[in-house]
Amino acid sequence: MNHCFQGDCRDVMQRLIADGARVQCIVTSPPYWGLRDYGHPGQLGLEPTLQEFMANMVEVFELCRQLLADDGTLWLNMGDSYAGSRRGGSLVNDSSTLQGSKKNQEACRVAGVTASRRRDDAPVPRSDVRIEGLKSKDLVGQPWRLAFALQEAGWWLRQDIIWHKPNPMPESVKDRCTKAHEYLFLLTKGERYFFDQNAILEPVSPNTHARLSQNVQAQIGSARANGGAKTNGNMKAVGRKVASSGDVTKNNASFNAAMAIMPTERNRHSVWTIPTQAYSGAHFATFPEALVEPCILAGSRPGDIVFDPFMGSGTVASVAQRLGRHWIGAELNPEYINLQADRTRQHGLLLELAAVCVEA
């Protein structure tokens, strides 16, 4: 536990499954198809066709399902891209394609496509690929294609969560809106699974209290406010009306009782507004920790194991460790292993220092 295995995530998971390992929660963001070259033979994301990429993703997440506990959850972040070619200074021209062309893949590398796990370091979504069945400038729909493929493969597709980015990358496009969201899918092995709703409750909106106040004021003196009994003549307020302010709710027993039981938290909504987060240890933008945290809190208990098959710089490991969970990861690029070690070591030192302070 608390270790990232370097290598293809499929090989890593097969070994873990053979050893009898099980994890409670998986949080990950796989490579998007046709957008980045990691510089490793056999890497996922540069398959000749979108269909092959989806087939490989289904294979990856079938192994995830075998590794996952029966009541476990998978939280899957996936961005999108557009069909057609990128214009303006690239060595890749309008006729380029990734339909099996090694020359094109080499051109992408020469053009300076940054090797990174996440795509937020460039104006995205963008793509240099032609896709059979899609027109130039068509939205590929990678997130939903993958979600439906996994659903067909046997996963329960429980929810789509919108990751709203208040600080999206600027885009120079003039014929559509700037992309400011990605999808996060919640998938499970069955219809019943562990989900700690209370761990991710959010504060109620101030407008909720205002609406309740208006509702109580509207009912004061009505039949509902008098236990259903009919009133004679004009409706009268239950409480004392303060003439100076005109506030019929002041010192009103019904209003005070209603506000006393007013909840301060609510079930978390499906739109999460979370800024992208830079990480000084790498030149690419990483998973924001605030996006990973509710997934781990809702999907696991302290002491459970959290897994990321595409560990990258180690954000999932870092958050899991900070929240008192164990973690396991897989990463193809050996250069990222040191980044992960630095991040998890920092949290380990903080926990040790906190323990010393408590003892003192």
Q: What is the pLDDT of residues 253-262, one digit of tens each?
A: 766 666 666 7
Q: How confident is the model at residue 42 (pLDDT cuts 50, 70, 90)?
A: confident
Give yes or no for residue 119 having a pLDDT over 50. Answer: no
Give yes or no for residue 193 having a pLDDT over 70. Answer: yes
Sign (positive/negative) of CA torsion 289, 47, 188, 147? positive
More confident residue, 50 or 119: 50
> Which of 136, 157, 147, 160 minimizes the C-alpha distance to 81?
136
Q: What is the pLDDT of residues 311-349, one digit of tens each?
A: 988 899 999 999 999 999 999 888 777 776 776 765 544
Q: What is the pLDDT of residues 53-97, one digit of tens each?
A: 999 999 999 999 999 999 999 999 998 888 874 433 332 223 222
Out of 28-42, 106-120, 132-146, give the one with best mean pLDDT: 132-146
* Residue 327 to residue 346: CA distance in whole angstroms: 15
The gap between the terminal CA atoms of the chain, to the nearest Å, is: 30
* Residue 82 to residue 137: CA distance in whole angstroms: 6
Is-contact 10 63, C-beta < 8 A? yes
Q: What long-range pairs does 42-51 form, CB within 8 A, spacing at least 24? A: 42/8, 43/332, 46/98, 46/105, 48/98, 48/99, 48/100, 48/101, 49/98, 49/99, 49/100, 49/131, 49/132, 50/131, 50/132, 50/140, 50/142, 50/145
Domains of the chain: 3-201+266-359 (3.40.50.150), 205-262 (no CATH)
Kindly state the average pLDDT of the residues 265-272.
95
* Residue 50 to residue 134: CA distance in whole angstroms: 11
pLDDT value at position 212?
Answer: 55
Is-contact 307 334, C-beta < 8 A? no
More confident residue, 244 or 38: 38
Kindly state the average pLDDT of the residues 222-243.
46
Q: How confident is the model at residue 286 (pLDDT cuts 50, 70, 90)?
A: low
